[in-house]
A and B are shown apart, each in its own frame.
Chain A
Amino acid sequence: MILRLAMQSLMARALTVGMTVLAIALSVALFLGVEKIRTSARASFADTISGTDLIVGARSGSVQLLLYSVFRIGNATNNVTWESYRDIAARPEVDWIVPISLGDSHRQFRVMGTTPAFFEHYKFRGGRSLEISAGHGLDDLYDTVIGADVAATLGYSVGDPIVVLHGLASFTAHDDQPFRVAGIVAKTGTPVDRTVIVSLEAIEAIHVDWQSGAKSGQTTPVEVIRSMELEPTAITAALVGVQSRLQIFGLQRWINEYPEEPLLAVLPGVALQELWQIVGVAETALIGVSAMVVVTALVGMMAMIFSSLNERRREMAIWRAMGARPSTILGLLVIEAMLMAAVGSVLGLALLYLGLAIGQPWVDAAFGIWLPIDPPTVRELWVLAIVIGAAALASLLPAIRAYRLSLADGMMVRI
């Protein structure tokens, strides 16, 4: 009966209570949303590469190597010579090795030179392989395979011509050697979606007439280039798979101690961990801010209860006259606060799912982060429980004041 009366009391003050509930709902939705994005971003990052045992590049930081080789963020400070690559490839521990050559771009998308082995060995989201949804792989020298986002953004379909730009934000085009879209990779949710893949030889081909990063005067005809032996002199990085996982550390040490050239080999998982440690600070800050928003909403609720106390002194006196103890009045106010927080939490959860349903495709397209719409996790339910508990705690202050008032007023309110 007390619970029902508490609900009726709240409904009688629908406007102020509604505003308070809305504030709690928005704050809860924000907090859960930030959590969702955080965990989904982690999952998306972690899903980007799997099945690769080592990433090899010029010596720099392991996070930097991971970022530019897998996520196409930032640039390599140095290249790996073809000789070093051959030496590593010749190691008995190596099961497979895929070279990667970066540095050119097409519109806003990066161009990656690699070998057909990339399509065979690059795995994402727990071992899934790339799938070519239209066209075919890299057959001709001037074939490109483009990611799903590239195709969608630029409206390309199989057979369309592509001109590769030198560098990342450059106006120097490799327009003498146009490419052709040979295939489109099905959506993966990884940086591959935003990559134009060409063969390693093609990267060499378009740079035949280039020396020290600038275009020389002469133009070698395409027919001549096709007949040339296009062996690269350097690559940006390489993905390596070993015969047995036991050999990973041995090979890593061998590469890191390679005498001819300073190289770095990292385990993708370890580099991701290091990345989390850096990103973790920002994550903690985000969670902290959204938690503060929840606290603010609860403080707002506390203020609302405080300001309602005076106009409810009459009501308290009625309760007292009917034989309610002051502690019953305290309990009534706490129950009301918990009801508001509970409704706010559930509404917040609903807002979250609404936001997810609306924002999911957009976030995926803009940031490559897939926000799964799952039933609430235990962790999320805990968050809701904590919000309701915190509301009960916050309401104690005004409730204790009501307790004192009702002790002093008794059944006679002198106002």
Chain B
Amino acid sequence: MTDPALALTDVTFAWPGQDGFSLSCPNFRMAVGESVLLLGASGSGKSTLLSLVCGIATATSGRVSIGATDIGTLGAGARDRFRAEQIGVIFQQFNLLPYARVLDNILLPLRFAPKRKARIGAPAQEAARLCAALGLPDGVLTKQAGRLSVGQQQRVAVARALIGAPPLIVADEPTSALDAATQDSFLRLLFEQAEQARSSLLMVSHDERLGQRFDRVIRLEEIVTTRRAAA
């Protein structure tokens, strides 16, 4: 049996020293190539769960595995490197370094991920291909990222997450800054490219309407228990 793309087993976590917020996730698994939408209101532990998945935070107990690797066993530097190699991240908004060119933004994760970089022959051409596939206008690569519209910026963020085809894409409410019409085309393009790259897609949102496209839709409460100590 192949390793799942992502597996959380008996994970517990508490933010150090912070108002006693703690989270536990007994079991959550994603198969390779699967797309999962996690539905949860704000404050339900979404951010904490994503931090655990990305290896920014480490579980107090239990295992967080991506592919065959238990990221809890990696040192801090190795986890940063692992994140760069294995995960493409898309935020809600303000994804890009506004002062840098679009091309530099897209290539930024490769700077920290030599293997991912080695998978692509010509990074600049791959970036151009992704931009074209995502419906971005010609010549966008040399523009300053901060000058693009919000919708364009989010697409550039997708290109950045997908370049070098990392096994896992993590998206934190990537559509919430977009209007309904743009949301739809954005998701369509995201799915197209994620499938082409054979990346698993984990998206977190509070918007149930996004659900149709995903293989699975899970409410966060079903897999995660949070506790906030009385202040």
Check A318–B96 contact: CB distance below 8 A: yes
Closest to A324 in B: B112
Partner of A411, one of B56, B97, B101, B160: B56
Whether a CB of chain A sits under 8 angstroms from the CB of B100 is yes
CB distance from B205 to the nearest CB of A (A): 15
| B107/A11 in contact, CB under 8 A | no
Alpha-carbon gap, A97 to B99, bound state (A): 75
List CB contacts (< 8 Å) of A275-314 with chain B: 314
A321 touching B89, Cβ below 8 Å: yes
The answer to whether B111 and A2 touch across the interface, beta carbons within 8 angstroms, is yes
A379 CB–B CB distance under 8 Å? no
Q: Is B95 an interface residue (CB 8 A)?
A: yes
**Contact between chains at B77 and A325 (CB < 8 Å):** yes
B91 contact from A321, A324, A414, Cβ within 8 A: A321
CB of B85 within 8 A of CB of A5, answer: no
Secondary structure of the B contact surface, majority rule: helix
A279 to chain B, nearest CB (A): 50
In the complex, whether A15 has a CB less than 8 A from a CB of chain B is no
Asked if A366 is at the interface (CB within 8 A of a chain B CB), the reply is no
- Counting contact residues on chain B (CB < 8 A from A), the size range is 20 to 34
B51 contact set on A, CB distance < 8 A:
410-412
Chain B window 137-175, contacts with chain A (Cβ cutoff 8 Å), 1 for yes, 0 for no: 000000000100000000000001000000000001000
With A323-B112, A410-B57, A412-B50 in contact, do A1 and B107 touch (Cβ < 8 Å)?
yes
Q: Are B56 and A322 in contact (CB under 8 A)?
A: no
Tally of A-B Cβ pairs under 8 angstroms: 77
Q: Is A39 an interface residue (CB 8 A)?
A: no
Whether B80 lies near A325 (C-beta < 8 A) is yes
A315 within 8 A of B: yes
Is A224 interfacial (CB-CB < 8 Å)?
no
Q: Is B28 in the interface zone, CB < 8 Å from A? A: no
Question: In the complex, what residues of B have CB within 8 A of residue A315's CB?
Answer: 97
Residues of chain B within 8 A (CB-CB) of A9 are 97, 99-100
Contact B112 A322 (CB under 8 A): yes
Please name all residues of chain B whose beta carbon is closer than 8 Å to the beta carbon of A322 when the two chains form the complex. 84, 89, 108-109, 111-112, 160
| Neighbouring A residues of B84 by C-beta, 8 Å | 322-324
Q: Does A86 contact B (CB under 8 A)?
A: no
* Of listed A8, A12, A410, A411, residue having the most chain B CB within 10 A: A411
Does B113 sit at the interface, judged by CB under 8 A? Answer: yes
Known: A8-B99, A12-B99, A322-B160; 16 extra A-B contacts, CB below 8 A, are: A1-B108, A1-B111, A2-B111, A8-B100, A318-B94, A320-B56, A320-B80, A321-B54, A323-B81, A323-B113, A324-B112, A325-B80, A328-B112, A411-B54, A411-B89, A412-B47
Q: Which 10 A-B pairs have the closest CB atoms?
A: A323-B84, A12-B99, A410-B56, A323-B112, A321-B89, A322-B109, A412-B47, A325-B80, A8-B99, A322-B108
7 contacts between A and B (CB under 8 A): A1-B111, A9-B99, A322-B108, A323-B84, A323-B112, A411-B89, A411-B91
Q: Which residues of A contact B (CB under 8 A)?
A: 1-2, 4-5, 8-9, 11-12, 314-315, 317-325, 328, 410-412, 414
Tell me the B residues contacting A by CB distance below 8 Å.
47, 50-51, 54, 56-57, 76-77, 80-81, 83-85, 89, 91, 94-101, 104, 107-109, 111-113, 146, 160, 172
